[in-house]
């Protein structure tokens, strides 16, 4: 499985909810985890490997989670702006404002409800991955000028690799 890159259409579609956690979903989670580690990412959403399902994996040092149907249930009004990149828009980074603290709810692979409170980088990664399952990319948080510059840099890098 490969990471799909911008402008693939699957990245822009809202992902479908997962109604049953079966062997197929467990295998998908395993493949996503493998792809994320291989790419040295800190998070990955199913649409990033071409699968329109609401499934994410997040790995921050000792904080590893696989969440089915995750959603942001709370977010702080306080925001911080940090450079952000994306495995599906490889190369450029751009400053993105995100809530400093979030509460995320989802289900683990055993069907148990999980509720996580994260701050800082953890909050940023969960917001980024949940954006993916909602068909949104980090470039959508940028001003028109910043998005233009970021996409120009991305296209230039793509051309250099070809």
pLDDT for res 1: 81
User: What pLDDT, on a 0 to 100 scale, did the predictor assign at position 162?
Assistant: 79
Residues 6+ positions from 124 with CB-CB distance below 8 Å: 82, 84, 98
Q: In 3-state terms, what secondary structure has residue 133?
A: helix
- CATH for the stretch 9-161: 3.90.45.10
Question: Is-contact 123 102, C-beta < 8 A?
Answer: yes
Question: For the chain, what percent of residues have pLDDT higher than 70?
Answer: 100
Would you call 144 a catalytic residue per the annotation? no
- Give the CA distances from residue 57 to residues 43, 84, 114, 162, in Å, rounded to whole numbers and listed in that order: 5, 17, 13, 30
Which residues have a Cβ under 8 Å from the Cβ of 26 and sit 6 or more positions away? 109
Look at residue 23 in the predicted model and tell me its pLDDT: 98
Do 139 and 153 meet the contact criterion of CB atoms below 8 Å apart?
no
pLDDT reading at 30 higher than 90: yes
Structure tokens at 105: 């709810």
Query: For residue 76, what pLDDT is reported?
Result: 97
Residue 27 confidence (pLDDT): 98
Distance from C-alpha of 35 to C-alpha of 155, rounded to nearest angstrom: 23
pLDDT digits (tens, 9 = 90+) for 49-98: 999 999 999 999 889 999 999 999 999 999 999 999 999 999 999 999 99
Structure confidence by residue, pLDDT tens digits, 9-28: 999 999 999 999 999 999 99
Q: What angle do CA 116, 98, 149 make, to 5 degrees?
A: 140
**pLDDT tens per residue, range 102-140:** 999 999 999 999 999 999 999 999 999 999 999 999 999
Q: What is the pLDDT of residue 90?
A: 95
**Annotated active-site residue in 2, 27, 129, 161:** 129
Separation of first and last alpha carbons in the chain: 20
């Amino acid at each position: 499985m490969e990471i799909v890159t911008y402008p693939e259409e699957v990245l822009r579609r809202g992902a479908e909810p997962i109604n049953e956690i079966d062997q197929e979903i467990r295998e998908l989670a395993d493949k996503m985890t493998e792809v994320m580690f291989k790419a040295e990412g800190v998070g990955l959403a199913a649409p990033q490997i071409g699968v329109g399902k609401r499934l994410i994996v997040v790995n921050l040092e000792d904080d590893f989670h696989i969440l089915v149907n995750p959603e942001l249930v709370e977010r702080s009004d306080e925001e911080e702006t940090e450079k952000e990149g994306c495995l599906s828009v490889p190369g450029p980074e751009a400053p993105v404002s995100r809530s400093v603290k979030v509460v995320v709810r989802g289900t683990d692979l055993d069907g148990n409800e999980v509720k996580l409170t994260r701050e800082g980088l953890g909050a940023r990664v969960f917001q980024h991955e949940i954006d993916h399952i909602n068909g949104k990319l980090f470039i959508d948080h940028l001003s028109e000028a910043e998005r233009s510059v970021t996409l120009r840099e991305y296209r230039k890098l793509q051309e250099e690799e070809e």
